[in-house]
Chains A and B, each alone.
Chain A
Amino acid sequence: MLTKTLGVIFLLCACLYLSAAAGSFERRRVRQSEGMLMLLRHIRTQISCFRTPIGDIYASFCSDELESCGFLPRLREGEDFCTALQECRQSLLLDEEETDLLAAFGKEVGGSYRDEQVEGCDYYIGELERICRNRREEQPKRVRLARSLVLAGGLLLILIFL
């Protein structure tokens, strides 16, 4: 009886932890996407207004999310945008569409003159804004879904256990 009680409590705690983690995961996805969007906007402004070299642009940008996943430190060390994106694939919670978009941006950045570069940035910023908007709108539903699935799974396990 005691074992069962402890088991139920453990399962309940695990469910609560996992549902909180699922919510945190979704929120982190959105923050990372928004961090990428802010980075692209920063790049666009620096190129458009000051023609700042790309290394200096990365050095002057701050984002806790992109810093903690290791993406920004890699850029500051001189790593290519596409390479940094590839290396941080595990820690960046981006979906395939977003990864492909950013990879395409990475191939183009720094390779053309100012006007073309700014036009390119505008295109990628537009696409990324769309993705971020969709993600923000879906976030509450995804969090609710994740929590519901975790809790339902947990309850099922508790019932089986009992």
Chain B
Amino acid sequence: MPDEGLENLLCMLPEAVHLEIARLAGGYTDFEGRLSEIRLRAGRVASLVLDGRNLTLRTSLSGTELAALVKTFCHNSVYAYSESLREGYITLTGGYRVGVAGRAVMDGGCVVGVSDITSLVIRLSHRVRGAADVPLQVFEAMGGRQGLLIYSPPGMGKTTILRDLLVRLSSGPSPRRVAVVDSRGELAGSYIGTTCHVDILSGYPKAEGIELATRTLSPEVILCDEIGGFEEVEAVLAMQNSGVPLIATAHGDSPEGILRRSAIRTLVQCRVFGAYVGVRRDPLRGFLHTTGFFDAAGDAATEGGDTEC
């Protein structure tokens, strides 16, 4: 049976979509963990990603229906979600993120909202046990004292790995005090047990969240998703002075690719990150990892080829 969060999400969708998903997934008993995305488009085909494959649904929704769905996702309080809508997403209970595409509402050259919704992309979160095996090994190999950068192109499972890492680091026989800067509300879900030593900063911009976590939460590790902006560099460097390692993810397809980004290069050169793990996801082989360490000059030295997980 799907978990409660997924079931609540499916109940919010129009019945035609609900039935189509059930048909394509072959019923609910073998559902969870296989469905990773649902895409709804105004006046065009809807689709989902099941077992890594794009499948077309035999139904489509109108723009009005998409707008009504946005209102439902916002619990009939669109105004309460205006900040995240401005950035193009809504986070649902359970850590599911809904990407919202439409016509930008501009004011003074800035995007203040979105109207005439044309697409909704629902990314389903789930914890994959064992997803963080390799990153955890690399982190432990550094004595848990240096930061770790996890990179991959979009949709390859960085956030899924971070979720498993969060639970593994904060629980077990030697749990660490883990602070999570969960800007989009995707990391902290129902899978975090009551025995996890986790402090969650939900909705904070990354820079503010990292600074606050360092100053007030006395963490042993800080986790955050999708780092890479210059506004975060200052906060991270200040955090580094406190000796707290940072585990973060970034978009990229190779160590050289991520090091071309100035902000990340600065962090690597300042020894914020001591090692990296590159991630790809193969439908048949699961997570594939490329691991390596950053040298003193801030260059990447790849150690491992594709490690299956």
Contacts and interface: CB of A to CB of B under 8 A. Distances in A.
Interface string B87-114: 0000000000000000000000000110
B77 interface: yes
Interface in B16-40: none
B112 A54 contact: no
B185 to A, nearest CB: 14
Interface string B109-125: 00011000000000000
Interface stretch (B6-14, B68-76, B153-161): B68-76
Interface residues of B, number: 12
A112 interface: yes
Contact of B82 (A51, A52, A54, A109): A51
A54 B113 contact: no
Contacts, number: 40
A53 B82 contact: no
A112 B74 CA distance: 11
A115 to B, nearest CB: 9
A110 B82 contact: no
Interface in A12-53: 47, 51-53
B113 A53 contact: no
A76 interface: no
B74 A110 contact: yes
A110 B112 contact: no
Contacts of A55: 75-77
Contacts of A53: 75-77, 80
B78 interface: yes
Contact of B76 (A52, A110, A113, A114): A110
Given A113-B112, A113-B113, A51 B79 contact: yes
Interface string A99-115: 00000000001111110
A139 interface: no
Nearest to A114: B79
Contacts of B71: 110-111
A110 B80 CA distance: 9
Contacts of A112: 78-79
B80 A52 contact: yes
Nearest to A53: B77
A87 to B, nearest CB: 17
B146 to A, nearest CB: 40
A115 B71 CA distance: 16
A54 B72 CA distance: 12
A114 B82 contact: yes
A117 B75 contact: no
17 contacts: A51-B79, A51-B80, A51-B82, A52-B77, A53-B75, A53-B76, A53-B77, A54-B76, A54-B80, A55-B75, A110-B71, A110-B74, A110-B76, A110-B78, A111-B76, A113-B85, A113-B112
Interface of B: 71, 74-80, 82, 85, 112-113
Interface of A: 47, 51-55, 80, 109-114, 117
Given A47-B79, A117-B79, 5 more contacts: A51-B80, A52-B80, A53-B77, A54-B76, A113-B79
